[in-house]
Amino acid sequence: MTRFAAPIAEQIWDMKYRLKDADGTAVDSSVEDTWRRIARSLAAVETEPKLWEEKFYAALEDFKYLPAGRIIAGAGTERSVTLFNCFVMGTIPDSMGGIFEMLREAALTMQQGGGIGYDFSTIRPKGASVKGVAADASGPLSFMDVWDAMCRTIMSAGSRRGAMMATMRCDHPDVEDFIAAKADSARLRMFNLSVLITDPFMDAVKADGSWDLMFDGTVYRTVQARDLWNRIMKATYDYAEPGVIFIDRINQANNLSYVEQIAATNPCGEQPLPPYGACLLGSINMARLVADPFGEGASLDVTALDDLVSTAVRMMDNVVDASRFPLPQQAEEARNKRRIGLGVTGLADALLMVGLRYGSEEAARQTEDWLHQIARAAYLASVQLAKEKGAFPLFDAEAYLNSGTMRKMDGDVRDAIREHGIRNALLTSIAPTGTISLYAGNVSSGIEPVFAYAYTRKVLQKDGTRSEEEVVDYAVQMWREKFGDVELPEYFVNAQTLAPLDHVRMQAAAQKWVDSSISKTINCPEDISFEDFKEVYLSAWDSGCKGCTTYRPNDVTGSVLSVSEEKKPAPEVVTSEEVEPRQPHGDVIYMSEPLDRPQQLEGNTYKLRWPDSEHAIYLTINDIIVGGRRRPFEVFINSKNMEHFAWTVALTRMISAVFRRGGDVTFVVEELKAVFDPRGGAWVKGKYIPSILAAIGGVIEEHLILTGFLEGEGMGLKSDPKAQVVGIDLPRGKPCPSCGQFDLRMIEGCMTCASCGHSKCQ
């Protein structure tokens, strides 16, 4: 027997959350061991650890409470990683020394596994004078390029690339360049971008008034507010960025407005945070709390919900004390305010189970009621913790009760806070849950609608054959178990068919009782008119949302693979000479387990001579045949220069490990070629190569071209590979950088792979 509701859930656990030794040997023999490890670790700070370990375990059991991935993977492992998902870094000083000190802090934070957010509005605009050096400033975007390059070179803990958010105020003189930055698909790839929109700006937009672009009190130029707004709208209409953050609304709703000012968010936008603020995330699985699902008496078990929320708040509060922090300023900030972000996942499934259509007015009212109940339970649980352990250090009763969302909180909760204080300054947030929702049995993610009720996932087995697994939404599977494989009722809607304004309605309903913010994507059809698209953002503003993120599939963003709800035979992919794929590496797939190494492999050895180096470097790349196709399997890097020994061995092992997992491995080339050496690169065969690692990346690229895995130099992940399919013109987006499958979908502001759970946001 297994606790996992689907094969993909167990695979996600094994790949991302299961504790293993350095050699890959499993320490957690079962998911129960994982739950026990987390429960024991978070109970260790209690005065009665055994008592609370059992209560914490009960909350985790059967995926009822889902801590964020950082906690699942890191708690109780004794590894030097942070259990906090993301941070907003310190305010960037407008000086060269200060800027690069912030870059150092960012690198240290990402090294321990934290995503970061920065406000670049504090850097003087391009062309502004720099006193004392007779030069003009290069502007914030040039420094964002430096951050982007740094992020490419640092692998975050948990084997994922770090995510970054960059914000800029709508009145900064360089905001137009910021808005247009993602028009270059190769630029700022490690960043999500959002413009900080102020209340006066929105007033000017609606009045078609003028708008000053200024820095440090100096007006650089004046534009029409509506023209600037239309620039933002056109950019996000064309390539999905930047998002918008209603920053004045965020500060007005902040419970800590009396001690902090917010100017940035974490990478997915659900946690607006002050300088050095950290987000600690976890989700209540609403799909597990519905009694009599699809029955006449279907309803959410409110008593079970209150109890689960209370336990979850205590667990999350303990994380503040149990976690490591990359920087001392982050530890101090977290412990002074003890903010947590308890959210939900499986909301759409829960609505289906009680017979409500996601996006309807009835579903919005039910969502508001459920989240009100969660907010009440969370605040009262935090009051109880304050009675037992003390309020957060910066608590000031009258200032706190007269700021932010506390002004609309229920009277009995306000009275309890006034009498006893509160342990956590902020308690609720709705985070991206793409991976943990798969881990919990493919429940709907966060407060998003169900993306697809079922889809087929291809997995490459050890013997080279392909198997297909049907991945079914949790609520749909429950429906099938109860009624058989019959047609779904009309109230079953999904992200492909939902109107954009229905998305906005649900986000606004949830926001009323969430004291931080919400990570949500409003999916728009490709053929939506520009005027209707702009209306989505104005509706989000008018309905009280704190920000807005949309996704419209097109040639730039990539068309999300459509999913049919009807069962149809999978089209056969042509691999004969009659129809060749446009990109040879477009049909690569993920291996459920690394392939065993055959006795013999075919390969090539390349000699790399780096200028000023006494000895050459030799690269041997061996290939394996899978499904009649040649693909890289391992690499050996050798040099007689003993100074190279450690890093060449490390690179050999890491690249070979990536190759053996399968998928689209061309990102290895892309990442190596992006590494620059601060001491300078070299000219090789008439080309400037920024580092010896970039040169190695070039050799690997040469081999992939030779073996037909790539079409040509520079034609890697950015070229939107497609497969040729007989009898149907099926649009496909970009492949997942982890597993290579075309199952990427925009969920909660971040591209997430439905096949392997890959997301840079978690």
The question of whether 268 is a catalytic residue gets the answer yes
Catalogue the E-assigned strands of 2-119: 65-67, 86-88, 115-119
Residue 408 CB-density burial (10 A; 0-12 exposed, 13-18 middle, 19+ buried): exposed
Q: Do the bridges between strand 522-523 and strand 550-551 make them parallel or antiparallel, or are there none, so unpaired?
A: parallel
Report which DSSP code applies to 324. Answer: B
Residue 667 CB-density burial (10 A; 0-12 exposed, 13-18 middle, 19+ buried): middle
Report which DSSP code applies to 573. Answer: B
Rounded-to-10 torsion of CA 489, 491, 493, 498: 150
DSSP 154-204: -EETTTEE--EEEEEETTSTTHHHHHHGGGSTTSSTTEEEEEEE-HHHHHH
**Contact assessment for residue 5 and residue 477, using Cβ atoms and an 8 Å cutoff:** yes
Which contacts of 306-310 are long-range, i.e. CB under 8 A and separated by 24 or more positions?
A: 306/373, 306/377, 308/59, 308/64, 308/65, 308/284, 309/284, 309/342, 309/374, 309/377, 309/378, 309/381, 310/377, 310/380, 310/381, 310/384
Catalogue the E-assigned strands of 642-761: 682-684, 687-689, 744-747, 750-753
- Number of neighbouring beta carbons within 10 Å of residue 684: 16
Q: Residue 443: which of 266, 293, 281, 271 has the closest Cα?
A: 293
**Contact assessment for residue 363 and residue 356, using Cβ atoms and an 8 Å cutoff:** yes
**Which conformational region is residue 346 in: left (phi greater than 0), alpha (psi within -120 to 50 degrees), or beta?**
left
> Cα(551)–Cα(631) distance, rounded to whole angstroms?
33
Half-sphere exposure of 344 (CA within 13 A, CB side): 29
**Contact assessment for residue 158 and residue 761, using Cβ atoms and an 8 Å cutoff:** no
The question of whether 266 is a catalytic residue gets the answer yes
> Cα(452)–Cα(450) distance, rounded to whole angstroms?
6
Assigned token pair, 626: 């899978």
CA 606 to chain centre: 38
What is the b/e burial string over 255-291, where b = at least 16 CB atoms within 10 angstroms of the residue's CB?
bbbebbebbbbbbbbbbbbbbbbbbbbbbbbbbbbbe
DSSP 485-500: SPPPPTT---TTTS-H
> Cα(5)–Cα(485) distance, rounded to whole angstroms?
18
Q: Residue 294: which of 455, 476, 446 has the closest Cα?
A: 476
The residue from 266, 318, 424, 442 that is catalytic is: 266
Q: Do the bridges between strand 281-285 and strand 341-345 make them parallel or antiparallel, or are there none, so unpaired?
A: parallel
The residue from 270, 333, 448, 634 that is catalytic is: 270
Q: Name the amino acid, one letter, at 175.
A: V
Which residues, 6 or more positions from 485, have their beta carbon under 8 angstroms from its beta carbon?
none
Q: Which strand (E) or helix (H) includes residue 477?
A: helix 474-483
The residue from 151, 268, 548, 753 that is catalytic is: 268
**Contact assessment for residue 303 and residue 311, using Cβ atoms and an 8 Å cutoff:** no
Backbone torsions φ then ψ of 232, nearest 5 degrees: -60, -45
Assigned token pair, 375: 């907010």
Assigned token pair, 318: 């303990």
> Cα(66)–Cα(59) distance, rounded to whole angstroms?
9
The question of whether 701 is a catalytic residue gets the answer no
Show which residues are catalytic: 266, 268, 270
